[in-house]
């Protein structure tokens, strides 16, 4: 199974909105509504941000939202804050009954 495709980097200014894409195939993203997103600060463990394409864990800011169209999922962060600067990873369940992660996107807050 190949890793999901994410842009290597995105950037935005405080207060702006950014979107990170995650492209897979009909065997993963396109076949299931089981896409999740994780944020990882340097030296820290990943943190769940979105699950089942659009759901936020309890207590997470509504500045984070997820969507999916065909084989591509997206994470949108609105009202960018300095603390949002981190690496973001998407993940999907697959038809092989396994999981696959994306290559990661480094978000820079200018």
Binding residues for another protein (CB under 8 A): 1, 3, 32-34, 36, 38, 40, 45-48, 51-52, 55, 57, 89, 91, 93, 96-104
In the complex, minimum distance from the CB of residue 54 to another protein, in angstroms, rounded to a whole number: 10
Residue 13 CB, nearest approach to another protein (Å): 26
3-state class (DSSP) for residue 100: strand
User: Positive or negative CA dihedral for 82, 15, 50, 93?
Assistant: negative
Contact 107, 100 (CB under 8 A): no
Residue 15 or 41: which CB sits closer to another protein? 41
């Amino acid at each position: 199974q190949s890793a999901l495709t994410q842009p290597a980097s995105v950037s935005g200014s405080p207060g702006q909105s950014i979107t990170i894409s995650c492209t897979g195939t009909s065997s993963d993203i396109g076949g299931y509504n089981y896409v999740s997103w994780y944020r990882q600060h340097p030296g820290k463990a990943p943190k769940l941000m979105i699950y089942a394409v659009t759901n936020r864990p309890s207590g997470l800011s509504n500045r984070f939202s997820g969507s999916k169209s065909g084989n591509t999922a997206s994470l949108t962060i609105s009202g960018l804050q300095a603390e949002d600067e981190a690496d973001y990873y998407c993940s999907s369940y697959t038809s092989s009954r396994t999981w696959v992660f994306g290559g990661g996107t480094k978000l820079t807050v200018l």
